[in-house]
Amino acid sequence: MNNIARVRVTARPEVVIKKLSRANIAIYGVKSAGAYTSFGAEDKMLKKVFAIFSHPCYNIRIVKYGFVRSLALRALSRAGLVAGAALFAAAVLLSQAFVLKISVTGSGAHLAPQVVAILRRHGVEEGRIYGGVDSPIVVSQIMSLPSVTFCSISKRGAAVVVDVQCSRQSSPAPDSSPLVSPVAGRVVAVAAVCGTPCVSAGDEVCAGDKLILPYCAQSPSGGTVCMCAGYVRISVSASVTSLAAEESSSALSSALAAVNLYSDEAEVTSCTVKRVSQGVLYTVNFDYIYTASINMR
């Protein structure tokens, strides 16, 4: 019954019933009011009804369309409103796919720049489409930040919420300075949890050279300041000298033992013995791996 239109025609009800029943048109709710007869007919039959009462002596008009058609007509007459509503709904749905805000909550909220930098490195950035996040890796990197004891990542609408909790015990304030190399050597490995590494494996560095800078690369033109966290392994070549009264195997062992002061895994490359006025001078050349780190537990 929802598709029943209401029609009014200047004719007697008997005439209306007779004409429409001849054409096998179902009619509903025939009412007579003065010279007019109003009745209901299915929307799809309206053309036929108008054809039947097409003679000029009949004044016929549609009083009300059926539900579906009137809904369509109302929608058409308010096309702007409908389009706006559809656009709004589409915008809401589309915004869910984007990350419009990254919110760092909890007692570790002060680590927001570092957390945002870690997320950015994994493709989660404000204004970009959210393609999911490899949660275990990102969480482990956030957990490696100083004094972080808990971390969880969730997406609420268009916002990525990172809950970071730090230990209640007072811990030293995170070092916001760059990681500087205290030794000279060749870089073997670089791991920057937070910050921008300025060296790579194979580079030669001198003492005092910066290894990881305290900002996160955002674009070639600039970056955001953040705390450094990470480590750099450097292969260092060094030598120790040991003076002995005379050349002996015990004196050599003593000279080699001095190497262990630098590293347990030092690799002796050469050893020379030189006679001096006070006795003999052992010079042991060796390589060892020095790990320079900052804000790592």
Partner 1 sequence: MEFLQHILGAAGADTLHAFTVVPGFGVYFRGVGSVAECGSGRIVVASGGAGITVTGEGLSVGRYFQGDLFISGRIEEVRIE
**Rule CB under 8 A: which residues touch partner 1?**
12-14, 17-18, 20-21, 24-32, 39
Q: Which of 17/256 has CB closer to partner 1?
A: 17
What's the min distance (Å) between Cβ of 22 and partner 1? 9
Q: Where are the beta strands (DSSP E) in 119-221?
A: 128-129, 148-156, 159-166, 179-180, 185-194, 196-197, 204-205, 210-213, 215-219
Q: Which CB atom, from 20 or from 266, has the smaller least distance to partner 1?
A: 20
- Cα torsion 202, 208, 209, 214: sign: positive
Q: Provide the minimum distance between the beta carbon of 30 and partner 1 in the complex, in angstroms, as a whole number.
A: 4
Amino acid code (one letter) for 131: G
Enumerate residues 6+ apart whose C-beta is below 8 A from 172: 146
Q: Which is nearer to partner 1, 37 or 181 (CB)?
A: 37
8 DSSP β-pair partners: 38, 61
Tell the smallest beta-carbon distance from residue 10 to partner 1 (Å).
15
- Closest CB to partner 1 among 14 and 204? 14
Q: How far is CA 28 from CA 17, 63, 231, 241, in A?
A: 10, 14, 86, 115
Minimum CB separation from partner 1 for residue 77, in Å?
31
Q: Smallest distance, Å, CB 18 to partner 1?
A: 6
Do β-strands 159-166 and 101-105 pair in parallel, antiparallel, or remain unpaired? Answer: parallel
Residue closer to partner 1 (CB basis): 17 or 281: 17
Q: Which residues, in sequence order, are CB contacts of 226 under 8 Å at separation 6+?
A: 113, 114, 116, 117, 194, 195, 214, 215, 216
